[in-house]
């Protein structure tokens, strides 16, 4: 990693791809794209003379501007749009003095910054979508491969009843498909901002309404862009919340895998790699570092989402701090969600699965985890209460005598009167106690197949009006 993203923590918390997608340069590109598109709209509506669009757009290359210098000026001005517009105007004036007065005409700083952030959001969402597609494919493969692989289900961290690893992975996948659906909608419906000083485009007089319509049409933005959103931040907050939900669901998967990878459980392990997961003190250790990093992201996300929600009640027509709080917060959410996704892809694609340990863990209780199934079988003839009482009695004997529950039951006439040895053996086979697991897996896989569209197209101009 290069530049400001390099450091002692490497790519533990943000990866190079996402850092580039939501970088200051990407924001600058989107802000300059706004200015170029505004000039096109002004010229198209005959507000500005012919030649204005080319003169301004020709100076809207991000490489023409020193980000560090703009940042120093922004420290005094209060936002980066003010020094950028000043620098852009100076460059246009140097080559086309008559057109320089049309730079930023009728717009305000928030129009530039919000539209720049829309471009950054589009870049970030495109990358997240591509990663979700890849992760969904890896989880689908796990669910299909381990459809019938028995393992113990756990509730309150205690053994409950057998499930399959296939249904577990399907249930990891399902909420990620939902997040992808929601985020794709947001990617497909970007909204740029052109509203002027107080949201009414008053500086443009009678030209304001048609100029705004032309601007929206040129940027191919969604219809809601015609409504100013300087102080209406619900869409940005909704995006932040969905990124938080996505990161939290990734954390759930990481939590499960981390628990399953414990030495005493040993049902799965993270991918092996030289130098990965070691301990500075204990050479034998193999720490679940990917799970650790994903969970760290899931721990951080709620506070960032809370900041975005706290910024919703903004003052009047322009916020006094709330809008500004969004600037560093939303990119940070993209960073941690993107990094968690990248780490989860590595984790799932290389996950080591140990079916024999899963089966051994089912047998740890000597059949006690199958007591529900036996009780239900006996209830058909003995009634629920009596069957439950018999299984309670047998379970106590199982523990006291250190015998398998099947053997204890086979010695009880009240049981063998209704269940043969073969029937008992079948009842203790976890592979035949799957309930609706296959149907659940099939529904999730069908949803995944339906959602597995081609990778998202490159952002349209509405993702930053990128004709600059």
Cα 366 from chain centre: 41
Burial of residue 283 (CB within 10 Å: 0-12, 13-18, 19+) is: exposed
Q: Which helix (H) or strand (E) holds 151?
A: strand 150-155
DSSP tag of 78: S
Q: Which one of 154, 235, 318, 357 is the catalytic residue?
A: 318
Cα 214 from chain centre: 34
The yes-or-no answer on residue 371 being catalytic is: no
Q: Which helix (H) or strand (E) holds 114?
A: helix 109-145
Burial of residue 316 (CB within 10 Å: 0-12, 13-18, 19+) is: exposed
Q: Which one of 4, 72, 279, 310 is the catalytic residue?
A: 279
Q: Which residues pair with 185 in a beta bridge?
A: none
Sign of CA dihedral 250, 253, 256, 260: negative
Residue 45 burial (CB count, 10 A): 16
Q: Tell me the C-alpha distance between 409 and 407, whole Å.
A: 5
Provide the 3-class DSSP secondary structure of residue 274: coil
Provide the 3-class DSSP secondary structure of residue 446: helix
Given a contact cutoff of 8 angstroms between Cβ atoms, the answer to whether 33 and 62 are in contact is no
User: Which distant-in-sequence residues (6+ apart) come within 8 Å of 379 by Cβ?
Assistant: 387, 388
- The span from the first CA to the last CA of the chain, in angstroms, equals 27
The yes-or-no answer on residue 318 being catalytic is: yes
DSSP tag of 79: S
Q: Tell me the C-alpha distance between 247 and 293, whole Å.
A: 11
Q: Which positions are annotated as active-site residues?
A: 279, 318
């Amino acid at each position: 990693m290069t530049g400001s993203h390099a450091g002692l923590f490497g790519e533990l918390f943000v990866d190079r791809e996402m850092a580039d997608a939501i970088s200051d340069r990407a924001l600058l590109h989107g802000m300059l794209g706004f200015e170029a598109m505004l000039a096109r709209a002004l010229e198209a509506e005959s507000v500005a003379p012919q030649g204005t669009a080319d003169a301004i757009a020709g100076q809207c290359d991000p490489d023409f501007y020193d980000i560090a210098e703009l940042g120093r000026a922004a420290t005094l001005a209060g936002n980066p749009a003010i020094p950028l517009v000043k620098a852009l105007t100076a460059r246009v004036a140097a080559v086309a003095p008559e057109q320089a007065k049309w730079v930023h005409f009728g717009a305000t700083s928030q129009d530039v910054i919000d539209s720049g952030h829309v471009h950054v959001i589009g870049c970030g969402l495109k990358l997240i979508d591509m990663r979700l597609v890849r992760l969904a494919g890896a989880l689908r493969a796990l669910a299909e491969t381990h459809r019938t692989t028995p393992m113990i289900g756990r509730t309150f961290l205690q053994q409950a009843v057998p499930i399959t690893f296939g249904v577990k992975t399907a249930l990891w996948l399902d909420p990620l498909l939902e997040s992808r659906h929601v985020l794709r909608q947001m990617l497909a419906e970007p909204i740029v901002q052109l509203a002027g000083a107080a949201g009414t485009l008053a500086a443009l007089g009678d030209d304001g309404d048609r100029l705004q319509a032309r601007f929206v049409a040129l940027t191919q933005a969604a219809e809601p862009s015609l409504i100013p959103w300087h102080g209406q931040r619900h869409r940005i907050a909704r995006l932040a919340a969905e990124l938080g939900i996505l990161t939290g669901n990734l954390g759930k998967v990481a939590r499960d895998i981390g628990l399953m990878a414990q030495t005493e459980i040993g049902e799965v392990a993270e991918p092996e790699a030289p130098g990965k997961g070691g301990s500075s003190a204990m050479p034998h250790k193999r720490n679940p570092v990917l799970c650790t990093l994903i969970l760290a992201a899931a721990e951080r996300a709620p506070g960032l989402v809370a900041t975005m929600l706290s910024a919703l009640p903004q003052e009047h027509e322009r916020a006094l701090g709330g809008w500004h709080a969004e600037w560093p917060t939303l990119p940070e959410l993209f960073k941690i969600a993107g990094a968690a996704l990248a780490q989860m892809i590595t984790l799932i694609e290389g996950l080591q699965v140990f079916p024999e340990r899963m089966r051994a863990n089912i047998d740890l209780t000597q059949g006690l985890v199958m007591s529900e199934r036996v009780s239900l079988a006996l209830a058909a003839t003995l009634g629920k209460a009596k069957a439950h009482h018999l299984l309670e009695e047998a379970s106590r004997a199982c523990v006291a005598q250190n015998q398998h529950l099947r053997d204890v039951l086979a010695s009880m006439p009240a049981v063998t009167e209704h269940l043969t040895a073969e029937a008992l053996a079948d009842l203790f086979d976890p592979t035949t106690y799957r309930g609706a697991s296959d149907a659940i897996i099939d529904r999730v896989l069908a949803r995944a197949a339906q959602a597995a569209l081609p990778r998202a197209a490159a952002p349209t101009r509405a993702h930053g009006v990128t004709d600059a």
